[in-house]
Amino acid sequence: MGYGYTAPGDPAFENKMRGEIIAAARSMNAGGTDFSTFKNSRCNPRYWNRTAGGGFELRAGVSPSAAINDIFVNGQLYAFECAMAMVMILYRATISMIGESAFDRYFTDLYLWDWNYDSNLKMITTFNRAELQPGDVVYFKNPDHDPDKPEWQGENAIMLSNDSFYGHGLGIKSASEMITSLNRERVPGSRTSAYLADEGLHPDFAYIATLTTRSGLPLSGKRGASTAIYSRIGVKSYIIR
């Protein structure tokens, strides 16, 4: 556990959390979860209610940290798409860094669906590939994907090292292997290749570090409330509050 590091802006905290993001991605890769569309998603009903849209809503009375950890322990009970996987990985790393008690205080109303995430998981967006680092969320875009398979319009992935990435459904691959996999899902005859986009996301590490020590921070926002955050890697518009 890394939650001994609490100094805002401490490079040690960022380095440790990037390592925890990478560890969570590797754990998910080994954990037996399946890739699925929202229509076919599934979750452990002990911790989550599956919504009509294929999202996972935290059950009443369930510890948020226990529910996230269960995804990595009982992976065979879960199936979801790649954006949800990225949020789960970031939550898991946050638990490792700030501890279960702080996570349960600030992330009380979890709802997993696409790129929906709690307002206390503040994210920073970069648009320069040269700035990407291991632990960032990146996006492999497939602009000429088969229109009958919208799930292959791109792949969200965790950068594990300079040329190693974890994408839910594709596993751990190099950039060229990710691109080759996506190219198999193009419109027949297309010569427009998938590619690694320039933008990336990572948590605001300095803010996350304060969650174990600061009082008066806003608690988790209810789903649909003004404090909810929705952003998506792979497009040029983000809502960041």
Same domain as 114, residue 96: yes
| 130 and 216 housed in the same domain | no
What does the pLDDT look like over 37-91, one tens digit per residue?
999 999 999 999 999 999 999 999 999 999 999 999 999 999 999 999 999 999 9
Q: What is the pTM of this model?
A: 0.87
Is residue 5 included in any domain, yes or no? no
If asked whether residues 65 and 153 sit together in one domain, one would say: no
Backbone angles phi, psi at 76, to 5 degrees: -65, -15
> Is the pLDDT at 217 greater than 50, yes or no?
no
Residues 105 and 37 in one domain: yes
Query: How would you class 206 by CB atoms within 10 Å of its CB: exposed for 0-12, middle for 13-18, buried for 19 or more?
Result: middle
For residue 152, give both structure tokens.
Answer: 């292959």
Residues 53 and 142 in one domain: no
Structural domain contains residue 174: yes
Asked if residue 180 belongs to a domain, the reply is yes
On whether the CB atoms of residues 112 and 64 are closer than 8 A, the answer is no
Q: Is residue 1 part of a domain?
A: no
Residues shown for the chain = 241
Burial class (CB in 10 A: 0-12, 13-18, 19+), 125: middle
Is 3 domain-assigned?
no
Which of 173, 153, 148 shows the shortest CA–CA distance to 163?
A: 173
Contact 178, 157 (CB under 8 A): yes
Position 227 pLDDT exceeds 50 = no
> Per-residue b/e over 26-64, b at no fewer than 16 CB within 10 Å?
ebbbeeebebbebeebbbbeebbeebeebbbbbeeebbb
For residue 185, what are the domain limits? 126-200
What is the per-residue pLDDT across 116-169, written as a single tens digit (0 to 9) for each? 999 999 999 999 999 999 999 999 999 999 998 999 999 999 999 999 999 999
Q: Determine, yes or no, domain membership for 236.
A: no
What the block records as the tokens of 13 is 């905290």
Per-residue confidence (pLDDT) for residue 212, from 0 to 100? 80
Give the tens place of pLDDT for each residue, 20-46. 999 999 999 999 999 999 999 999 999
